Structure 1
Amino acid sequence: MTSTLTLDSDKLCAARLLAVRARPYLATALYALHIVESRTVPTMAVDRYWRCYVSPAFVDRTPVEDLASVLVHEVSHLLRDHHGRSDRFAQAHNLTGPAERLRMNIAADAEINDDAFGDGLVHPEGAVTPASLGLGSGELMEDYLRQFRLGRLTENFAWLDCGSGADGADRDWDLGPDGADGLTDQQREAVKFRVAQGITARPGDTPRAWRRWAEQALHPPQPWRALLGAAIRSAASAPGVGEDYTYGRPARRSPSLPGIVLPSLRRNPPRVCILIDTSASVSDSELGSALLESAAISQALGGRRDLVTVLSCDTAARIVDPICRADGITLLGGGGTDLRTGFTKALRTQPRPDVLVVLTDGQTPWPTSRPPCRTVVGLFPRAPSSLEDDPDYVPDTPPTWARVVHIG
């Protein structure tokens, strides 16, 4: 027999208002949710288009305080892109079937519920937490997925279904991309941006997981290989790089000056010198990345290996080697770091390079004056230094005249 119970919109609005008061930084997202009455959804679920499907029976039997917590929980799935992350994880690990999607939903819930409740939000009965799975707190959905399987600890969560917005698998009740009241890609990104701005502007006692999310939302990881390649190409094609005058071809202005032979400007392929930091603070994996980037730079120059040289340096500059292939380059070093000697050595090579590419972790003194060639710095990640607690500590940062790309 089909229930004739209608959705109590007033109760749901009261729950949304309570959620906004408890988590004001999520207000934009909570009000962006479009409520859709559904008699098919078990409790409450979302799709990736920011529709929230609500069971009238669930609203009727659930206290307002619990509904507020569930609304915060559901909108958190969407803000943290659990549908997209679940799809990517499933594809990368060849996971298929409803059981794996349930496992993703459980892992996503564990990420959210770790610090979602309290401070004005009650803990709904039966909510998944890392502790209920026997796992540690403060990790991401992908981390939890690697640590548990469906079994005794998860048998009480078989009913769980937060919708396609949580695990990426479409449901029968979904209205799909062409349905009414869904948000476009631009609208969804705008909501996330507004929420992230609200968190970073006045973080207060915002949970650490939300602060981490906001930082990534405002400053997403960049495709550093593409950025490094673009920086090198820009430096290599800049005016003056590889240009010289030649009398082998008359200048275009020569006819206007009879009896005078003017040289023409000729552009030669740019020469690139790669300076690799081989000090002890640079790991073997980073050195491996440096060698691969060296080979990639040669390919970017059309395979002209004669135009690319490699120089390794810690506190002393080593021999400048022409590049052949990545596994043919010998890197020497392992001591302290002073790339100034490397700059001096590179600029003394003949012919002088047009572009200097420096691959380093940045823990080095830098030249005080700008070199006479374009400089691109590929910066490896650097662990925080204990000296940073010293108010008089001034870290070594790349100079302003260098184009800096953060690697990794």
Structure 2
Amino acid sequence: MSSEQLLLRAKSLLTVKYPYFGMLASRLKHEPSDALNSYASNGVRFLYNNDFLERRSVEEVMFILTNCVMHHVLSHQQRRLNRRGKLWQLSTDYAINNLLSKSGLHIPVGANYNKEYEGMYAEEIYEALKSEMNLGEGDAFDERGDSIPNAVAGDQEISDQESFGNIEGIADELDTADEVQWQYAASIAQEVAQRKGAMPLGLERLGKKVKPADVDWRFELYNAINRHMRNNYAFMPPNKKHIHRGIALPSLTSDTLSLCVAIDTSGSIDDQLLGAFMEEFKTIMQNFPSVKIELIIADAKVHAHHTFISGDPMDFPLKGGGGTDYRPTFDYVEAALPMTTMLLYFTDGEGSFPRIPPNYEVLWALSRKAKVPFGRALVIFHL
């Protein structure tokens, strides 16, 4: 069977057996390339070595296409932050291939698959791999070691097998327009798959539809943070306007001004939403470099607390997957961060709230419309 026939057959079978994956795979325009040893995908085109592809079975081509499109759909590059590139790519590949296996796709020998990582976030897998390799923050990492597949190295037999872990061939960054198109395509594919009763198993955490809200939520969010900064005057450094008169007035900026951010990692927060939350946190850090951010990771309990200022590497694990209880987060803020004047909480709004509102401002960055007993609710996504 020619490579062209293999690709058409694979896309056709995916559309019939796995409509969700099939519709997404059909978006990739395929074309041969003698410059490649195996394959590559940049989110628009699927390039392949003709000889390599003709040695593949239909099931193997189905896997390759599906693995490629899921990397694009999940926008894992948004969540990389300052993690090691190759190790992060491997972590995302493990997360995707566990989902594909659970959905019933054939996982070829040589693919990055380990059942031990089933149900784990890519961030959790990253931390597990880093621990297994005994890598500290400043340790060197062998980018070409056995831990990271290299599809273009070795003899033909080894290259063919390792090609199924060809994460180097998947674009690490997508153009903004392409990224939006993949998100939209994923939402349409979900609707089609659900109508046919064929939503793949294992994709429950990926299956919620995300659309931009009707309001300019970014303007509202940043306006709230700006207001928080303006309202929190500090005497260090002082306003120099009246220093000559012996009067020290507060200035509008402070090296110690902080913003408390909490991210809900409960089971009701799927991978797409988690990625969106993480991307917005990253954007806040870039847009407000003079602010120190206290980041809390929590579901029904507080899993971690990290402090970031401008220039700090944002490398941290995301743990969760349980129920949602906001009370431990508010208790933690009161005990560990008593000077907090504003808490920004990324969540879906479904959980147990404190009975008594805190004495600081609370902004709920919600993934859907939900009633909150206090604070300001800002719907940043519609589900």
TM-score (norm 1): 0.47
Structure with more relative contact order (C-alpha pairs < 8 Å, separation 6 or more) = 2
